[in-house]
Amino acid sequence: MPVSEQTYLQLVLEDPQGHWELECGKLRSEPPMTFDRSTVMARLTFQIMQQVSEADFWVRPNHGRLRRPDVGYFEPDVCVVPNAMVRRLFPHRGMVEFYPDALPFVAEVWSPSMGAYDVTTKLIHYRTEDGVMPRSGWCIPMTGRSLFGRGSRTGHTDQRAARRRRDAGCRAGGCY
């Protein structure tokens, strides 16, 4: 049975420590994070924080949810959020943190436990032209030695095929 957006948001409020995502009506919990993946995320967060103004941006490691209209909510490993957006979206305490607008930077740390999902599902949603994700969606391999973005390892052909599979599943009634 598909999970509604309202049910998802209620779950997120009731389980703030959980890392829940919603794709086309399917609820998904991320597996526990490995030390290696957490280390790459922490280093990336630190590097970004040294390069952006704290007065202008929040760097959110493993926190913010990105809302993709008619598809769902995804939690990137690291994202950068303008302070102006934070002030506009969260005028009151206790609100669920999700971003319906494009962000300047979103990253996923590739790991064996999340690899296929991160590359074939999340990055596809991050990069759609009509979506809420930035032009700079990145996947960082666990080695932490290289960054690659649009058109490299994931390849446009694989992205298009994954997008067609996703859209077909959504048309079949899986989305809220």
What is the count of structural domains for the chain? 1
- Name the stretches of the chain with pLDDT < 50: 131-132, 143-159, 162-163, 165-176
- Give the pLDDT of residue 95: 87
Domain residue limits at 153: 5-174
> In the 3-class helix/strand/coil scheme, how is the chain assigned residue by residue?
CCCCHHHHHHHHHHCCCCCEEEECCEEEECCCCCHHHHHHHHHHHHHHHHHCCCCCEEEEECCCEEEECCCEEECCCEEEEEHHHHHHHCCCCCCCCEECCCCCEEEEECCCCCHHHHHHHHHHHHHCCCCCCCCCEEEECCCCCCCECCCCCCCHHHHHHHHHHHHHHHHHHHCC
- Give the pLDDT of residue 64: 85
- Residue 20: CA count within 13 A, CB half-sphere: 21
- Give the pLDDT of residue 106: 85
d(CA 58, CA 40): 18
pLDDT in tens, 75-120: 988 999 999 999 999 999 888 899 988 888 888 887 776 666 776 6
- Give the pLDDT of residue 37: 84
- Give the pLDDT of residue 145: 43
d(CA 38, CA 44): 10
- Give the pLDDT of residue 71: 84
Q: What is the CATH number of the domain that holds 104?
A: 3.90.1570.10
Say what the pTM is.
0.71
- Locus of tokens 């979206």: 89
- Give the pLDDT of residue 102: 81
